[in-house]
Amino acid sequence: MGGLFGMEWQTLAADFRKFHKHPLNVALHLVTTPAAVYAISFLVFTYLGSPAAMGMHAAWLAIILPSTPLKLWLASAAAHALICAAAIATTMTTLSATVLFAASYFAQDVAHFATCELTFQSSYQGKQDGWMWTLLEHTLHLVPLCFDACWHTENGSLATIFVQRQQVATHKLSAANGPEEKELLQAVEHVGNWAVQQNPRTDVTTHWWWHGLSAEATEKFAFVARSQYLRDALFGKLYPSQTHVVEPLEGMNELYVACKTYNANSDTVFYRNHVDGPYGIFPFVHVYRSMIAATPNEQIETIFPLSGRQVRHNTDKGFTLGGYDGVALTTGEMISFDFHRELHRIAHVQGAKENEGHRVCLKVHFLIYPRFLGPLGRLLGRMSVHYNQNFRSLFLATLEPDHPIAKFMAFQVVFWTAAMYRLEMHLGWTNLIYLLCATAVSLAARSYSVFFCLTSFVHYAVYASTYHQRTNVAFGAFKRDALLFKTLALVQAGVQFLFRFDYSQPDIIALALLAGGFGLAGLAASRLGVDRTYFGWELGVISGDYVAKFPYGVIPHPMILGGVIGWLGFHKLDGFREAFPAYVPVHIALYLCHALQEHFAIHSNGKLAASGSAVEGKKVK
């Protein structure tokens, strides 16, 4: 497919993708590019009139038609039509439009800087003959190029922005993997042997700061904690070095010996779902705790409820992580998780034999932040060290509470641990930030409708993106997000419905649609169960045969059909429809889009799920 000035579409698109791999960069381009085109359109409309504005877009689309794939051209045509209509229908000053264009252009450079990607323009401007023609080709095709980039980001597609990723990193040290791992394994074993030689108690946990060990053990601990090889092995894929900084956070490092029982003391928190730190509200920056097993262990497992069931990492090295099933770390194995966000607990493995010796782990910590957010990352690091030191002092003081104050403080440790667990389990820090932002925007606009709309459609993005991506998904966190935002939408719509319902002349049809529609959806969900309702089968989390019990096997897509009928019940009520005329149509449109996605199995990895496992299928996009 030839371009305007000799460059084929395939070549142009491939070159553009090289500089637009990060999904955040692409997402920001989907805002800045239409904004810049809108500003140009408004200026043309202001000075030359609506025929000139419409003619500009028509000519633009005609020029790129021969060189653009049809689907991308149609999507671009729709975008151009919307932008042109918006430019003609809205009012702003010439200065504002000029500032908007400049800001949009500058914001694209900011997006590249934030994601550590060079601009496509910088790759050819002034570096080749005829680069002006390349710039013109680039500019004219910018809209379809942005759409094309949505399907070619890192890890699949733009859907990754809305997907709850698996963010628990694992690794297994083995002398067979080379001299670096052999030396690291020997250092870990040396530290473990030192801990065992101290004869720690078995009825309470034992803790040493890393610098409180013997001189040789401290040196070995530091060797492990500062290993660049280990950082690359753990975080190289999750947080690539070109975009993120991963550095040791030694102020939190310690050596830990588990107890074999627990009583009404602060050790109880380890056996309950908990998050280690309170600062999950810091966006984009992380503190990771790495638990590195230094002794053999078959008895005590670590469980990550939100990570998902039977999610495997580094299977080529024989190490698996099962989110619901847990993993018993033994010598040389390690798990790294977000100190402030990742829900976890320890438990005794049912049927496992009791450990002959102590379970000893190195707790090694790392600070991780995007390169452009260094100050925020370092602030989180300092606050985390300060919190960890103070909490550890409180924790150790309440291991054996022998008077009322100590018992009260032990209760506080357990209580606030439970509170943070519930926050993460049912809400999540990312969702809290989003809801706070939606609240702020709504207050600034002095309109509840803004909050209503901003929080009513998020679950469709979560559904569609997770179904599309379907790899490396934190299944528990996905279910939490989907249930949270679907519940928010239904509860808010229900309140608005009741507020506007005429009890003197009840709308029986609206009530019947609500009861019948959501009743059908609820019945369908009960037939599948929660895990299967939320794509557990498609994601390979659960196994099982096709469900044929009514309404399945009789009514196609009964859950989606029931949801559509239920939302029509809201729309049937005159007061609700007059207050929010587009609200229900948007719900139905998004539901139907997702129904088409499921029906045609549109996803990014080109594999169809069968009985809970991925098999090769036709790639559909």
Average pLDDT for residues 291-307, to the nearest whole number?
Answer: 90
Query: Please, which contacts does 321-326 make with residues 24 or more away whose CB atoms are closer than 8 Å?
Result: 321/168, 321/170, 323/474, 323/475, 323/476, 326/301, 326/302
Burial-class residue 240 by CB neighbours within 10 Å (0-12, 13-18, 19+).
Answer: middle
Which pair of structure tokens corresponds to residue 442?
A: 């709504």
- pLDDT-above-90 percentage for the chain: 66
The candidate with the shortest Cα–Cα distance to 559, out of 538, 530, 600, 601, is 530
Residue 292: pLDDT band with limits 50, 70, 90: very high
**Mean pLDDT in the chain?**
88
Residue 520: pLDDT band with limits 50, 70, 90: very high
CB contact at 8 A, 39 and 107: no
Beta bridge partners of 369: 245
Residue 371: pLDDT band with limits 50, 70, 90: very high
For residue 14, pLDDT over 50 is answered with yes
- Amino acid identity for residue 251 in this structure: G
Which pair of structure tokens corresponds to residue 278?
A: 């309170």
Average pLDDT for residues 219-246, to the nearest whole number?
Answer: 95
Determine which of 219-233, 325-339, 364-378 has the lowest per-residue pLDDT on average. Answer: 325-339
The candidate with the shortest Cα–Cα distance to 360, out of 271, 450, 258, is 258
DSSP tag of 212 = G
Q: What is the pLDDT of residues 164-206, one digit of tens each?
A: 988 999 999 999 999 999 999 999 999 999 999 999 988 788 9
Q: What is the pLDDT of residues 134-172, one digit of tens each?
A: 999 999 999 999 999 998 988 778 888 889 988 999 999
* Helices 70-89/142-149 angle, 10° precision: 120
Half-sphere exposure of residue 568: CA atoms within 13 angstroms, side-chain side = 13
Residue 506: pLDDT band with limits 50, 70, 90: very high
For residue 122, pLDDT over 60 is answered with yes
**Can you tell me whether residue 506 is helix, strand or coil?**
coil
Average pLDDT for residues 521-550, to the nearest whole number?
Answer: 87
Among left, alpha and beta (phi > 0; psi -120 to 50; other), residue 199 is left
- DSSP3 helix / strand / coil % (the chain, rounded to 5): 55, 10, 35
Q: What is the pLDDT of residues 312-361, one digit of tens each?
A: 434 444 444 444 457 889 999 999 999 999 998 888 887 878 888 899 99
In this prediction, residue 42 carries a pLDDT of 96
Element (H, E) at 607: strand 607-610
Beta bridge partners of 346: 302
Rounded to whole angstroms, what are the CA distances from 201 to 71, 204, 259? 68, 6, 7
Q: What is the pLDDT of residues 252-264, one digit of tens each?
A: 999 999 876 655 4
For residue 21, pLDDT over 70 is answered with yes
For residue 493, pLDDT over 50 is answered with yes
Which pair of structure tokens corresponds to residue 504?
A: 């003197």
For residue 265, pLDDT over 80 is answered with no
H runs (alpha helix) in 339-457 = 374-397, 404-426, 429-445, 448-454
Beta bridge partners of 302: 327, 346
In this prediction, residue 268 carries a pLDDT of 60
Q: What is the pLDDT of residues 396-433, one digit of tens each?
A: 666 566 678 767 777 777 777 778 888 899 999 999 99
Beta bridge partners of 367: 247, 287
Angle of CA points 30, 31, 35, to nearest 5°: 120
